[in-house]
Amino acid sequence: MVSLERLSTEAINETSLESLEHRHRYEAVRTFCRDRRVLDLCCGVGYGSALLQETAASVHGVDIAPEAIDEGERTYGHL
């Protein structure tokens, strides 16, 4: 079974269960990332990477989908 979990930048601020779960995951690990170098694998469009950037020393997001990376760079710049 393959699960494709990807949220667009528009879906991030929704109040759907899926959107809230995604956001909660990043909120839960923010304190552990403080002043650390973070590698965000399967970062999608990078909203979580941007959230972690607020507390981490640096964040590098990686994703297999070029369209997700392109959207992330347009929205959040190069992390």
**What does the pLDDT look like over 24-44, one tens digit per residue?**
899 999 999 999 999 999 999
- The whole-angstrom separation of Cα 40 and Cα 19 is 18
Given this structure, which CATH class describes domain 17-76? alpha beta
The average confidence (pLDDT) of the chain is 85
Separation between Cα atoms, residue 64 and residue 18, nearest integer Å: 21
Residues 6+ apart with CB under 8 A from 58: 37, 38
Token output for 5: 């979990």
Q: Where are the domains of the chain?
A: 17-76
